[in-house]
């Protein structure tokens, strides 16, 4: 086994956190900003990249770091290690409302591809890298699905998604069409592509974008109901600077005038 064997427990419904149980000298790595709480005798250490062994010495480490920058992540991660006796616990919280998805990479073929901002934490030894979509159409029009992260190893990893999350198991040749922002993760055996919606009315008036993701089995796919980009767009649309507080017709407009917001 290359990865540390950690135990875990999920708490909460809409705002979840995961509690990791560490035996002595076991470690878990996490992105900065996800830490919630920990027991005494759990030591924190900043590490370059994900802490896995890189090929090619310092050049390999720098290349790996450059790839992390492309996914919008920090050059560094934090490792939490049980340096005491007996079991210790450390917890990591979801950054916004949604679900934490536990992924046992040993049972998922050793590799899962996920959205670039979905990774939360993992057993030390899990490699957190970058996955470029190789098809031209995916690269040009994939949007949120163009640059993704890959999680490789044989240990536990945890990713976060917005809203409700559904797991789909696709058979050979089965096809699932999904909004590009709603794809959370999929196993390496799934073929990921981008398809044009088609139709003049759909293109101009559909309001759902010009492209969607096409995932072809076999394999597993995780889909989220509320991508953070969609949530942020709605907040900006209705709550941004200069927006009226009431958008519901004449009475709403009158209320804004009385409040002094109608000018």
Domain ranges in the chain are: 7-241
| pLDDT attached to residue 221 | 98
> What is residue 153's three-state secondary structure?
coil
Residue 195: the pLDDT is: 79
How far is the C-alpha of 70 from the C-alpha of 79, rounded, in Å? 22
**CA 38/CA 128 separation, integer angstroms:** 23
- Report the alpha-carbon distance of residue 134 to residue 213 in Å, rounded: 14
Q: For domain 7-241, give the fold.
A: Double-stranded beta-helix (3.60.160)
How far, in Å, CA of 75 to CA of 92, rounded?
A: 19
d(Cα 175, Cα 173) in Å, to the nearest integer?
Answer: 6
For position 47, what pLDDT does the model report? 85
Long-range contacts, stretch 166-172, CB < 8 angstroms, 24+ apart:
166/222, 166/223, 166/225, 167/220, 167/221, 167/222, 168/220, 168/221, 168/222, 168/223, 169/217, 169/219, 169/220, 170/215, 170/216, 170/217, 170/218, 170/219, 170/220, 170/221, 171/217, 171/218, 172/217, 172/218
Q: Across the beta sheet with 7-11, what order do the strands follow?
A: 7-11, 17-22, 88-93, 35-38
How much is the pTM? 0.79
pLDDT score of 27: 95
Q: Using an 8 Å Cβ cutoff, are 189 and 219 in contact?
A: yes
Q: Phi and psi dihedrals of 66, rounded to 5? A: -60, -40
Q: Of 11, 19, 3, which Cα lies nearest the Cα of 87?
A: 19
List b or e across 186-198, with b for residues whose CB sees 16 or more CB atoms inside 10 angstroms: bbbebebbbeeee
Q: What is the chain's pLDDT, residue by residue, as a tens digit (263 residues)?
A: 467 889 999 999 888 999 999 999 999 999 888 999 999 999 999 887 766 755 445 555 565 555 555 555 567 889 999 999 999 999 999 888 899 999 999 999 999 999 888 999 999 989 888 887 655 454 444 444 467 889 999 999 999 999 999 999 999 999 999 988 899 999 999 999 887 776 545 444 444 456 788 999 999 999 999 888 777 777 787 765 655 544 444 545 444 444 444 44
Note the pLDDT of residue 160.
95
**pLDDT score for 225:** 93
Q: Which residue has the tokens 């790595």?
A: 29
Taking residue 245's Cβ as centre, other Cβ atoms within 10 Å add up to 11
């Amino acid at each position: 086994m290359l990865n540390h064997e950690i135990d875990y427990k999920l708490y909460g419904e809409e705002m979840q956190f995961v509690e990791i149980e560490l035996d002595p000298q076991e470690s878990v790595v996490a992105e900065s900003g996800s830490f919630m709480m920990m027991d005494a005798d759990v030591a924190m250490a900043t590490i370059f990249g994900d802490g896995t062994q890189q090929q090619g010495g310092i050049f390999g480490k720098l290349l790996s770091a450059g790839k992390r920058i492309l996914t919008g992540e920090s050059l560094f991660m934090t490792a939490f290690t049980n340096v005491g006796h007996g079991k210790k616990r450390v917890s990591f919280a979801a950054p916004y409302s949604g679900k934490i998805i536990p992924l046992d990479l040993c049972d998922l073929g050793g590799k899962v591809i996920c959205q670039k901002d979905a990774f939360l934490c993992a057993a030390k030894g899990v490699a957190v890298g970058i996955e470029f979509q190789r098809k031209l159409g995916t690269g040009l029009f994939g949007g949120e699905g163009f640059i993704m992260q890959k999680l490789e190893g044989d240990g536990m990893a945890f990713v976060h998604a917005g809203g409700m999350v559904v797991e789909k198991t696709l058979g050979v040749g089965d096809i699932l069409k999904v909004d590009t922002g709603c794809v959370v993760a999929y196993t390496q055996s799934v073929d990921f592509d981008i398809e044009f919606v088609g139709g003049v009315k759909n293109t101009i008036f559909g309001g759902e974008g010009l492209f969607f993701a096409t995932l072809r089995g076999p394999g597993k796919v995780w889909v989220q109901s509320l991508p953070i980009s969609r949530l942020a767009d709605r907040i900006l649309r209705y709550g941004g600077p200069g927006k009226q507080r009431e958008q519901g017709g004449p009475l709403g407009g009158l209320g804004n005038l009385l409040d002094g917001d109608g000018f």
